[in-house]
Structure 1
Amino acid sequence: MDPELVFSIVNALPMPIWLTWMFAPRSKLARYFADALWPWLILAACYLALLGYALSLPGNGGNFSSLAGVMQGFTNEWAALAGWTHYLCFDLFVARWMIRDAPEAGYKLSPILVLTLMFGPVGLLVYAALRGWLTKGAEPEPEPEPS
């Protein structure tokens, strides 16, 4: 199979979720995606398959003990595609947490979701900085009862 075709397919998989959360954040579909796990399971399964295939190829001698070793591991297009799928899955999962953590934020969350889609941890950092404002009015978590 052509890695460019696989890239196009895997890259398109999370887009309906991102677009729903950004443009219809209070819709039933947005809530459905926030409550579902199957999209992440599909991306995780794609990651596992791509990783397994990449590791089975000869000459994939990268390692995680040095930057040079990590770079060596991503010289194979299938390994780079597996790494990209890892990003897609985890960035979307972080966005899911944000949506669930601030369900009433609505469109206020959209720019942060764009940052999370494009720059992963930057979106998470901005969300953490603005979390109090985004969750204002949400019901506080109950205090744990003393044991």
Structure 2
Amino acid sequence: MSWDSIFVLTNVVAVAGWAMLLFLPRRPATHAFILFACVGLLCLAYLIMFGGLVGGWLDPARVAGAAPPNLLDYSVDGIRGLFMSDGGVVLGWTHYLAFDLFVGLWIGRDADAKGFSRLMQMPFLLGTFLAGPIGLLLWLLMRERRARRTVRAG
């Protein structure tokens, strides 16, 4: 299977999870499906890709002239070296997809528990889908205001 095909498949899994989170009723079975069938599947794909790339079992399809990555070099140059291949890019993207969907699931559950309407949740979930940490930061600021208001009222 090509890296392009794996990229498309991981995106399909993530978008399906986001669509369920945004539009389906939030029931335990829906949450479990998103968590295990979507986030879990993305994590499994990441594990397989990571092991295959580090173990040398998968062809990383490195950019012509790029040096092999040094997995112990945690500098900007070292991290850039990890992404100088199709496999590295798909691996990194799958990492983002899995974590952003997990965070979106947490935001949805947290917002439901705090009594936010689904319409009110949409900007935070879409922000997390499109720009992970920005959506999460905005949600954290919003939920803090609601939490403080609830404490004062109680």
TM bucket by the smaller chain?
Answer: 0.7 to 0.9
Change (3 A) 1:79 1:67: same
Aligned to 1:44: 43
Residue identity opposite 1:96 in structure 2: L
2:75 to 53, 66, 74: 66
Q: Percent identity?
A: 27
Aligned to 2:13: 13
2:140 to 104, 128, 134: 128
Moved more, 117-126 or 96-105: 96-105
Q: Does 1:102 align with 2:114?
A: no
Partner-residue secondary structure (3-state), 1:75: coil
Change (3 A) 1:69 1:123: same
Structure 2 unmatched ranges of 5 or more:
60-67
Cα shift at 1:21: 2.4
More helix by percentage = 2
Partner-residue secondary structure (3-state), 1:87: helix
Aligned to 1:33: 30
1:46-87 residue CA offsets vs partner (Å, 9 max, x unmatched): 000111122234833344420000000110111111111110
Number of corresponding residues:
136
CA distance in 2, matches of 1:68, 1:115: 29
CA distance in 2, matches of 1:116, 1:100: 14
Partner-residue secondary structure (3-state), 1:14: helix
Cα RMSD of the aligned pairs, angstroms, is 2.5
CA distance in 1, matches of 2:99, 2:10: 13
CA distance in 1, matches of 2:149, 2:97: 31
2:123 to 111, 114, 124: 111
Partner-residue secondary structure (3-state), 1:102: helix
1:92-125 residue CA offsets vs partner (Å, 9 max, x unmatched): 1111111111114212111111110111000000
Moved more, 54-63 or 125-134: 54-63
Structure 1 unmatched ranges of 5 or more:
141-147
